[in-house]
Amino acid sequence: MSELLQQLILDELSTNGLISDSRSLILPGSSAPAASNDAQIAVLGALNSLDSRAMIHYETHEEFSHVLTPEGSQIARHGSHEARVWAALPAPGQGSPVTPAELQKAVGDEAAKVGQGRAFKNGWIAKDGKGLVKAKSEIDDVTQAQLREIESSGTLVEGEAVLSDLRKRKLAVQKKLQWFTVRKGPSFSTSIAKLETDLTVEMLTSGSWKTANFKSYNFDAEGLPTDGGALHPLMKVREEVVSIFLEMGFAEMPTSSFVDSGFWCFDVLFVPQQHPARDLQDTFYLSDPKISKPPPAEYYKRVATVHEHGAYGSMGYRAPWSDEESRKLLLRTHMTGISARMLYKLAARVKGAEAGFRPTKMFSIDRVFRNETLDATHLAEFHQVEGVVADRGLTLADLIGFMRVFFRKMGIENLRFKPAYNPYTEPSLEVFAFHPLLNKWVEIGNSGMFRPELVKPTGVPDDVHVLGWGISLERPTMIKYGINNIRTLVGHKVPIDNVEKTAAVRF
């Protein structure tokens, strides 16, 4: 088809020197002129191909025309609802008036309902006792006539006001049509030379490449979209955050176990066993298996003691210790349990083969789970980003300094800190950043200096202090991609198309 069409255009130009309106072409395999939009799209394809070889030039014109909707075509054929109502009624005194039920039967529900009102308004029909009769012996069904005119010419002599009314009544719709004027180009010829697209071994050996006509590169052509896999937007932001931590010399903690015990998620962090965060309303507990394996015995004892009786200068909670609470299996509610476990491992190394404490910077980014009420910005699971530094003599100034560097690398310069409370840090700071789009300060993270009740039982040397901060991964991602409902970011309602098309992120 496309080659035949190209040939047709060239022949037409050769005979007439010009195609003033491409809608007059009679396309191969058809008997009528190519007036439809589809036909003109085919013509455009052929024109582009000829234009790329400079065989022709063309100009594009745009025209708006009207076509009928299915209801419009129906009326063009059988008359407007009001005319059909009128036609179904007897002239006064010439037969018995038609009741509403009879009218419905005669012209159908829709026409009876819509048509009656309009027919009354036009003064075409009148009431006679319980029924309806004609009030005029002749009517002029203007709507039908207008629609017939549109059907044959694509427009109305009466003009835009009437057209707009018909569009509102959903009887006609506007359509844009492109058409073209075509002239000969500098390389015009009636025969389409096949252009070579490859330089082959045969051409080189025979020497035919010297005279061959090569197709020129089209640098404007868009490549085919690849349909390989794509990183989820959250994972793109994750990559970016990982690279920030790596630049700052942090190493990633192993985070693959979603299930942890009350001991590692709460107890080692000095979260009291009666803390509301440990309630069923906040934490998901496992029903099978219910109970974890015993934690390292000596560490367990130190942690239980600091809770129940106090130690390391702390008076503890002075509440009875529950082994059962400590051994409960749960879906981890934050990543700080992993940080504590790493500190414990670090301290164990002090006595091992690689003896000696070494300052450490660690980070984790992974899923945590909370038994939350779900809404547009909360799900029962999200990703937590956590940075932890352990070194001798660290202070609050170091915490603030690390966070300033970290957030600056994410493009956030304007920070404020507010005193807060966490069972495992003292002092604790909430981190606020100024959000230029929302024009207000928004909370972006939580942080603090780990308490002695957490740090000392792990067994790291006495002068080692630990600082840490956490943010969610979803929040910066939603801001970055302008997403305001978390369900379009996570879960089964995420449009796959979006996942494939979202750009890589650079902070």
CA distances 151 to 40, 77, 192, 454, Å, are 19, 10, 39, 82
Q: How many CB atoms lie within 10 A of CB 213?
A: 11
Which residues, including other chains, have CB under 8 Å from residue 463's CB and lie 6 or more apart? 392, 393
Q: Which is nearer to ligand PHE, 214 or 258 (CB)?
A: 258
| Structure tokens that stand for 380 in this block | 């029962």
Closest-CA residue to 58 (of 20, 114, 100) = 20
Does the footprint of ligand PHE cover residue 326 (CB under 6 A)? no
Interacting residue with ligand PHE among 23, 236, 307, 334 (CB under 6 A): 334
Candidate segments 17-25, 135-143, 294-302, 468-476, binder of ligand PHE by CB under 6 A: 468-476
Does the footprint of ligand PHE cover residue 283 (CB under 6 A)? no
Phi, psi values for residue 175, rounded to 5°: -130, 145
The three-state (H, E, C) secondary structure of 200-246, written as one string: CHHHHHHCHHHCCCECCCCCCCCCCCCCCCCCCHHHHHHHHHHHHHH
Distance from C-alpha of 159 to C-alpha of 453, rounded to nearest angstrom: 84
Interacting residue with ligand PHE among 253, 470, 489, 502 (CB under 6 A): 470
Does the footprint of ligand PHE cover residue 458 (CB under 6 A)? no
Candidate segments 45-53, 76-84, 179-187, 463-471, binder of ligand PHE by CB under 6 A: 463-471
The pattern of x and - marking residues 415 through 454 that bind ligand PHE according to CB under 6 A reads -------x--x--------------------xxx------
Does the footprint of ligand PHE cover residue 386 (CB under 6 A)? yes
Does the footprint of ligand PHE cover residue 406 (CB under 6 A)? no
Query: Least distance to ligand PHE from the beta carbon of 478, Å?
Result: 17
Does the footprint of ligand PHE cover residue 179 (CB under 6 A)? no
Closest-CA residue to 469 (of 327, 299, 233, 412) = 412
Candidate segments 102-110, 206-214, 233-241, 465-473, binder of ligand PHE by CB under 6 A: 465-473
The answer to whether the beta carbons of residues 56 and 183 sit under 8 Å apart is yes
Does the footprint of ligand PHE cover residue 468 (CB under 6 A)? yes
Does the footprint of ligand PHE cover residue 233 (CB under 6 A)? no
Q: How many CB atoms lie within 10 A of CB 502?
A: 20
Query: Least distance to ligand PHE from the beta carbon of 422, Å?
Result: 5
The answer to whether the beta carbons of residues 47 and 58 sit under 8 Å apart is yes
Q: Taking CB positions, which residue lies at the least distance from ligand PHE?
A: 470
Distance from C-alpha of 92 to C-alpha of 421, rounded to nearest angstrom: 90
Does the footprint of ligand PHE cover residue 292 (CB under 6 A)? no
Q: Which is nearer to ligand PHE, 23 or 334 (CB)?
A: 334
The answer to whether the beta carbons of residues 361 and 251 sit under 8 Å apart is yes
Q: Which is nearer to ligand PHE, 316 or 468 (CB)?
A: 468
Query: Least distance to ligand PHE from the beta carbon of 448, Å?
Result: 4
Binding residues for ligand PHE, per CB under 6 A? 334, 336, 386, 422, 425, 446-448, 468-470
